[in-house]
Amino acid sequence: MNELKDKVIVISGGTKGVGRTMAEECAIRGAKVVIGGRDEAAAKRSLRLIRSYGSEGIFVHTELSRVEDCRALLDCAYERYGKVNGLFNYAGITPISPLDSCDVDTFDAVMDINFRAAFFCCQQAIKYMRMSGGGSIVLTGSAHAWGGQKDRAAYACSKGVLRTLMEHIAHNYAEENIRCNYLTLGWTPTEGEVALRKTQGETEKELRERAADILPMHRMCERTDYVEAIVYLLSDASSMMTGSTFRITAGEYI
Ligand SMILES: NC(=O)c1ccc[n+]([C@@H]2O[C@H](COP(=O)([O-])OP(=O)(O)OC[C@H]3O[C@@H](n4cnc5c(N)ncnc54)[C@H](OP(=O)(O)O)[C@@H]3O)[C@@H](O)[C@H]2O)c1
């Protein structure tokens, strides 16, 4: 359980869902963890757990619609720990946004959080990874990037462009030992997904039942289903792997 020993891992959206699970898991695997997000109470709960595992971490209040906050997330990591070895870019929003009715504000919000913030977090991560002898970036993808459902046009595009960002980083920074891979997550009952479905009148139980009917493997992905893959991508075990798309989606292929 020491795959990430002495590494400094930054997680955007480390307060919820897979981001929160990974903040805690990275600490269990020996990393110092920098949690980005806006929910300070959630981050404090994770930091207490992280300390109880004998590791340490910090919370950086990050409003990702502000580019200065994207930069500050990585700046704080480097100032506190003197290096940055990994970035798990998890934060994202998934509003309903069909092409024929998506308004400009929704489009801008999706692109600002899902793409622009990722772009500038990666820019700053590369700056510090270069000073740290290299590093690994994991971008959070979605099956929507390959077509996607009609009600998520802007979201689908934002996840498609992240794939291009991954390819660009992998292609241009390998010689500096900076890697980037794209992890496609499956349908997962995170806080964000459950809240979205609630606005559509669906409870978590109903969501799980509906998803089980639709998904080839007859259950939603759980946060824990991603842990080993993300640890692998952030660790030296994957040191020769860059430019890959990883898919953990219970067979879902939209
Ligand atoms: N759930 C799924 O089925 C699914 C499937 C495929 C991919 N994904 C991907 O998983 C990621 C999380 O999505 P989710 O809906 O499942 O949500 P979630 O687990 O509830 O997490 C969303 C995270 O993003 C952060 N965040 C959102 N807006 C932010 C902002 N303006 N500034 C800073 N942080 C912000 C939140 O931080 P705070 O709460 O602290 O503000 C939170 O930590 C996204 O990248 C999404 O594309 C999810």
Assess whether the C-beta atom of 15 lies below 6 angstroms from ligand 1. Answer: yes
Assess whether the C-beta atom of 158 lies below 6 angstroms from ligand 1. Answer: no
Per-residue pLDDT of the chain (254 residues; tens, 9 = 90+): 799 999 999 999 999 999 999 999 999 999 999 999 999 999 999 999 999 999 999 999 999 999 999 999 999 999 999 999 999 999 999 999 999 999 999 999 999 999 999 999 999 999 999 999 999 999 999 999 987 889 999 999 999 999 999 999 999 999 999 999 999 999 999 999 999 999 999 999 999 999 999 999 999 999 999 999 999 999 999 999 999 999 999 988 76
**Overall pTM > 0.85:** yes
Element (H, E) at 170: helix 153-173
Tokens coding 42: 């959630």
- Residue partners of 45: CB distance under 8 A and separation at least 6: none
Mutation test of ligand 1: which of 193, 194, 202, 221 has the most ligand atoms closer than 8 Å to its C-beta? 193
Place of tokens 């067979």: 251
Three-state secondary structure of 111-165: HHHHHHHHHHHHHHHHHHHHHCCCEEEEEEEEHHHHCCCCCEHHHHHHHHHHHHH
How do residues 74-96 score in pLDDT, each as one tens digit? 999 999 999 999 999 999 999 99
Assess whether the C-beta atom of 192 lies below 6 angstroms from ligand 1. Answer: yes
User: According to CATH, where is 3.40.50.720 located in the chain?
Assistant: 8-186+224-247
Sign of CA dihedral 224, 58, 196, 114: negative
**How far, in Å, CA of 236 to CA of 224, rounded?**
21
CATH number, domain 8-186+224-247, options 3.40.190.10, 1.20.1090.10, 3.40.50.300, 3.40.50.720: 3.40.50.720
